[in-house]
């Protein structure tokens, strides 16, 4: 038989079974749609991590008090310690870090949350005190309007995009007066929207001297964290190790009693990517179970098809069809079921990914920061081809045993079958 005849017979058989074929296809649709959605979320997560952490600067390190961190990583926003008994970083630590070869800039940061009043509205927001010159060198955020801080500034601030545009009922403009911790400040700069991890969208930035007067949780002559810019991006690991060793000696601690941590955007990215990868594998296993159920459905349908078409098989063999041609007939039929299920599954996966992205942006973009730079789902041509190919292969494997059974039928026994 010609391949065209085999395909025609396979399609006719599928339409003849009607509802049973579509229920079988539905099992593949659910599995493929789940696989496409989960893999696209995984790809989107990886891309978002790279985009968001890339904004921190590949050559930027953060030194923070405590050997572990609950959040914040010292790059932006409020610093949060996992251990309340640890000693904070001091001016001496800043000087030690500055003395390490390969260090370009060092920014001692004090941070906390304070009540911020603009017009008649008061909201608790993150406040960060920085060394103006070092911050301008290390900072990767761009200005939307105004200027950066200078070393001669006093009670002036640069505010994040969300602070200026979405947090308060009325948007802020340059030279606006705001009150922080009971002290009046003038807005001299507004940052562009950065979005995502480590961004300053929801942060108010001021000179460290001014921050010490308004942040009640700040201890005199101590810092919440220290930002470090490495001169050579290829030497980040070596400089990180040198800073760690210098602080171990300066703070009179050992690796087992270390009361500080040195982190980089690269190490954070590796950790989060590892966690995301593990979660994706778990979810992919669930989606794989759906595909397995669909494969069993195809196998069941094909076994029933062999039984129903036993006399047809006998007729084909009596007319000269070989075992291989009969086997191809059922393999192609099961492959078509997989192909149709995969095609519809990819389409459903597209819809699900679009829905997830839209809901994610609406839910995460309430304050205008996180969702601004995030990609929740990414569907690549390779993913589509993989899903389609995988569904066809699953279909053909599921139809392999029924096809072999059909091919082994003897013509005379098949023709006598009732």
**What one-character-per-residue DSSP string does 134-151 give?**
HHHHH--PPEEEE----T
Question: For residue 356, what pLDDT is reported?
Answer: 79
pLDDT digits (tens, 9 = 90+) for 265-297: 667 667 766 777 777 777 777 777 777 777 787
Q: Residue 158: pLDDT above 50? A: yes
CA pair distance 392, 394, nearest whole angstrom: 5
Question: For residue 325, what pLDDT is reported?
Answer: 80
CA pair distance 31, 38, nearest whole angstrom: 11
Q: Can you tell me the mean pLDDT for 97-102?
A: 94
Question: For residue 52, what pLDDT is reported?
Answer: 59
Q: Residue 256: pLDDT above 80? A: yes
Grade residue 163 by pLDDT with cuts at 50, 70 and 90: very high
Q: Are 121 and 171 in contact (CB under 8 A)?
A: no
Q: Can you tell me the mean pLDDT for 43-47?
A: 72
Cβ neighbours of 18 (radius 10 Å):
9
CA pair distance 301, 291, nearest whole angstrom: 15
Question: For residue 414, what pLDDT is reported?
Answer: 59
Please state whether the predicted TM-score (pTM) of the whole model is above 0.75: no
CA pair distance 396, 414, nearest whole angstrom: 23
CA pair distance 314, 302, nearest whole angstrom: 17
Q: Where are the domains of the chain?
A: 3-53+272-415, 60-231
Question: For residue 72, what pLDDT is reported?
Answer: 42
Question: For residue 323, what pLDDT is reported?
Answer: 78
Q: Residue 1: pLDDT above 70? A: no
The residue with greater pLDDT, 179 or 307, is 179
Question: For residue 198, what pLDDT is reported?
Answer: 56
Grade residue 417 by pLDDT with cuts at 50, 70 and 90: low
Average pLDDT, the chain: 80
Triad 188, 189, 195: Cα angle to 5°: 155
Phi-psi region of 60 (alpha: psi -120 to 50; beta: other; left: phi over 0): beta
The residue with greater pLDDT, 28 or 49, is 28
The residue with greater pLDDT, 260 or 380, is 260
Q: Residue 147: pLDDT above 90? A: yes
The residue with greater pLDDT, 358 or 73, is 358
Q: Can you tell me the mean pLDDT for 152-156?
A: 91
Question: For residue 197, what pLDDT is reported?
Answer: 53
In terms of C-beta density within 10 A (0-12 exposed, 13-18 middle, 19 or more buried), how is residue 58 classed? middle
CA pair distance 268, 146, nearest whole angstrom: 32
Q: Of the given ranges (186-190, 251-255, 265-269, 289-293), which has the lowest mean pLDDT?
A: 265-269
Phi-psi region of 311 (alpha: psi -120 to 50; beta: other; left: phi over 0): alpha
Q: Which residues pair with 159 in a beta bridge?
A: 190, 204
CA pair distance 197, 130, nearest whole angstrom: 19
The residue with greater pLDDT, 138 or 12, is 138
Cβ neighbours of 377 (radius 10 Å):
24
The first and second tokens of residue 91, run together, are: 């001016």
Q: Are 402 and 330 in contact (CB under 8 A)?
A: yes
Question: For residue 359, what pLDDT is reported?
Answer: 75
Question: For residue 326, what pLDDT is reported?
Answer: 78
The first and second tokens of residue 23, run together, are: 């229920």
Question: For residue 11, what pLDDT is reported?
Answer: 73
CA pair distance 96, 243, nearest whole angstrom: 8
Q: Can you tell me the mean pLDDT for 173-201?
A: 85
Cβ neighbours of 132 (radius 10 Å):
22
């Amino acid at each position: 038989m010609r391949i065209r005849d085999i395909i025609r017979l396979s399609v006719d058989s599928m339409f003849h079974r009607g509802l049973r074929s579509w229920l079988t296809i539905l099992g593949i649709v659910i599995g493929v749609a789940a696989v496409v959605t989960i893999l696209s979320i995984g790809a989107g997560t990886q891309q978002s991590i790279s985009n968001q952490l890339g904004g921190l600067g590949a050559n930027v390190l953060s030194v923070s008090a405590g050997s572990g961190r609950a959040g914040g990583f010292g790059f932006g926003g409020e610093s949060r310690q996992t251990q309340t008994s640890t000693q904070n970083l001091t001016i001496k630590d800043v000087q030690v870090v500055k003395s390490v070869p390969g260090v370009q800039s060092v920014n001692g940061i004090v941070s906390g949350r304070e009540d911020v009043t603009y017009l008649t509205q008061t909201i608790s927001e993150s406040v960060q005190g920085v060394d103006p010159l070092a911050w301008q060198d290390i900072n990767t955020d761009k200005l939307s309007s105004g200027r950066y801080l200078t070393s001669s500034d006093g009670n002036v601030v640069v505010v994040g995009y969300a602070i200026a545009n979405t947090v308060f009922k009325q948007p802020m403009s340059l030279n606006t007066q705001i009150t922080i911790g009971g002290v009046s400040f003038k807005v001299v700069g507004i940052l562009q929207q950065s979005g995502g991890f480590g961004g300053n969208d929801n942060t108010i930035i001021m000179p460290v001297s001014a921050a010490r007067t308004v942040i009640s949780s700040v201890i005199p002559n101590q810092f919440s964290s220290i930002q470090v810019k490495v001169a050579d991006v290829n030497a980040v690991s070596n400089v990180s190790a040198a800073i760690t060793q210098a602080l171990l000696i300066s703070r009179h601690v050992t690796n087992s009693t270390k009361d500080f941590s040195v982190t980089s955007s690269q190490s954070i990215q590796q950790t989060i990517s590892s966690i995301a990868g593990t979660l994706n594998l778990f979810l992919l296993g669930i989606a794989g179970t759906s595909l397995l159920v669909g494969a069993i459905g195809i196998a069941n349908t094909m076994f029933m098809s062999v039984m129903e078409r036993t006399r047809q098989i006998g007729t084909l063999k009596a007319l000269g069809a070989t075992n291989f041609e009969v086997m191809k007939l059922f393999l192609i039929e099961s492959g078509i079921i997989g192909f149709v299920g995969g095609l519809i599954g990819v389409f459903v996966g597209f819809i699900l990914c679009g829905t997830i992205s839209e809901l994610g942006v609406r839910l995460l973009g309430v304050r205008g920061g996180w969702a601004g730079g995030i990609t929740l789902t990414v569907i690549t041509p390779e993913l589509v081809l993989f899903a389609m190919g995988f569904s066809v292969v699953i279909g053909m494997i599921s139809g392999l045993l029924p096809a072999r059974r059909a091919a082994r039928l003897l013509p005379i026994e098949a023709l006598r079958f009732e």
